[in-house]
Amino acid sequence: MNKTIIVSNRLPLQIDISNDKLRITPSVGGLATGMKSVHEEGKTLWIGWSGLKEEDLDDTLTRKVDQAVAQEHCAAVSLTGKDLDNFYYGFSNRTLWPLFHYFMEYTYFENIQWESYKRVNRKFADMVLKHTDDGDTIWIHDYQLLLLPELIKRERPNASIGFFLHIPFPSYEVFRTMPWREELLRGMLGADLLGFHTYDYERHFLSSVRRILRLDTHFNEISYEGRTIRVDSFPMGIDYRKFHNAAIAHGRQNEAQKSDLQKRLDTHLLSTPGAKMILSIDRLDYTKGIPNRLRAFEYFLEKYPQFREKVRFVLLAVPSRSNVPQYQLLKKETDELVGRINGRFSSVSWTPIWYFYRSMPFENLIDLYTSCDVALITPIRDGMNLVAKEYIATRVDQSGILVLSEMAGAAKEMNEALLINPNNFEQIADTLKRALEMPVEEQAERNAFLQQRLERYSVDKWAGEFLKALRATRKLHHVMVSR
């Protein structure tokens, strides 16, 4: 029987070891949380990195890790400290990530890191080949594995290979600055179907294929080495029912069942008449626009002093890629800004910003989503942004307002949110005021549309549509070959 294999750099589970004991927690990030719902049906094998360094594992620990991941229908690719430095922190997160998010000033082009990227993609290919036969379906994810489709296609020409990019594909003018642009595009073209979150990313990719590889494209099809490759946009959804039902269950909790976090949130809301809460949740990443957001909130408190003592901003940032210098600088800048704003505006009974720098379990995310009146999501550039969708899914009574950056892929499908330019503080401050004062009827009207759409295009629908399109592309290929 043909199998379906998912491949991504990071597995959906994160393993930590202390005193020879394994602790397993879910991975954070849109790719892992989104695809997990697809994988949980139990019919797929997921190949990826466990989050551990090869040098930290002796034979016994390696066996334990392999067993633990196998129980979750996963297989682990092992990465050395060098791989992590050059492939993960290096080419993936100091070259591709900043370039594809238009942070050209943060982008490093280093040959050692490129060589490592090629080597690690080869490592992933070997693992995939070990677990697959020629007729299998292989679904590869994201920017860390751009060379993998070609490496597999060469050895499994009859496998159906899909590739999905979870981050933006930049415009040709930006992509062309990449020294290894041809190799990267050819690597991606090993796939039969290439998927992007939005039509704009798709068209940027096609434009690079035409102008860099000089290939002809016909609408969204590319003829390449005797194959027809399809390119399409598939905006990723969330597991709507999971978030919505969790919020319903949360609403039924009695006092004893509430978490400590929920009790603290309640205390703020109940202690001050007219108290409101604004929420933001992201990995601590410079693409997410956290300093901008903090400065805009500071300006909001300056411009509209009537909200002081009433509005609290809950900022949840999860540690991410902390070996990369720009992430360390961002941490410092965020700490300083939070300190400055709290120092400037706090009173005996009120602190404007509650700042959490950690990962949180699912139950606490639900506490936050359901307790906050406004979600303020202001990325400078973001492939999709699932947090925006999760917030709306938990608003069971249809109250709550999403203030969302136009630069997030999610903005394309969430027109009823209040859309802002993340660099325009005046607009953000005015929009925050509008959101905090919006009549509940208008909130409900906006959220009804958003929720309907999110429920209809949930993550399983997204995955189903992608796999259906992949099958159709392969059929098209067989028809062309047999002609």
Applying CB under 6 A, the residues found at the interface with ligand G6P are: 10, 29-32, 142, 166-167, 320-321
Residues 388-427 that bind ligand ADP (CB under 6 A): 390
Residues 297-316 that bind ligand ADP (CB under 6 A): 316
Among 12, 30, 48, 187, binds ligand ADP (CB under 6 A): 30
Find where tokens 């997921």 sit: 46
Does 376 bind ligand ADP (CB under 6 A)? Our answer is: no
User: d(Cα 306, Cα 377) in Å, to the nearest integer?
Assistant: 23
- Mark the segment that binds ligand ADP (CB under 6 A) among 188-196, 246-254, 384-392, 471-479: 384-392
Smallest distance from ligand ADP to CB 439, Å: 28
Q: Which two tokens stand for residue 459?
A: 């993550």
Neighbour count for residue 227 (Cβ, 10 Å):
19
- Mark the segment that binds ligand ADP (CB under 6 A) among 24-32, 117-125, 214-222, 327-335: 24-32
Smallest distance from ligand G6P to CB 352, Å: 29
Smallest distance from ligand G6P to CB 283, Å: 6
Element (H, E) at 353: strand 353-357
For ligand ADP (CB under 6 A), the number of binding residues is 16
Does 334 bind ligand ADP (CB under 6 A)? Our answer is: no
Catalytic hit among 83, 367, 373, 382: 382
Neighbour count for residue 207 (Cβ, 10 Å):
16
Choosing among ligand ADP, ligand G6P, none, which partner's interface includes residue 193 (Cβ < 5 to 8 Å by kind)? none
User: d(Cα 164, Cα 332) in Å, to the nearest integer?
Assistant: 33
Contact between 142 and 118 under an 8 Å Cβ cutoff? The reply is no
Contact between 26 and 33 under an 8 Å Cβ cutoff? The reply is yes
Instruction: Give 10 or 186: the residue with its C-beta nearer to ligand G6P.
Output: 10
Q: Is 382 marked active-site?
A: yes
Among 208, 359, 371, 451, binds ligand ADP (CB under 6 A): 359
Among 61, 129, 215, 318, binds ligand ADP (CB under 6 A): 318
Contact between 470 and 137 under an 8 Å Cβ cutoff? The reply is yes
Smallest distance from ligand G6P to CB 462, Å: 15
User: d(Cα 24, Cα 27) in Å, to the nearest integer?
Assistant: 9
Choosing among ligand ADP, ligand G6P, none, which partner's interface includes residue 360 (Cβ < 5 to 8 Å by kind)? ligand ADP
Catalytic hit among 39, 101, 141, 166: 166
Does 24 bind ligand ADP (CB under 6 A)? Our answer is: no
Element (H, E) at 45: strand 44-53
Pick the closest to residue 402 from 379, 443, 374, 378 (CA basis). 374
Q: Compose the 259-298 pattern: x for residues touching ligand ADP by CB under 6 A, - for all others.
A: ----------------------x-x---------------
Q: Is 197 marked active-site?
A: no
Pick the closest to residue 425 from 287, 305, 313, 293 (CA basis). 293
Find where tokens 């067989």 sit: 478
User: d(Cα 237, Cα 242) in Å, to the nearest integer?
Assistant: 12
User: d(Cα 453, Cα 466) in Å, to the nearest integer?
Assistant: 18
Instruction: Give 31 or 341: the residue with its C-beta nearer to ligand G6P.
Output: 31
Instruction: Give 28 or 444: the residue with its C-beta nearer to ligand ADP.
Output: 28
- In degrees, rounded to 5, the angle at the alpha carbon of residue 103 between the alpha carbons of residues 97 and 105 is 115
* Active site members: 166, 382
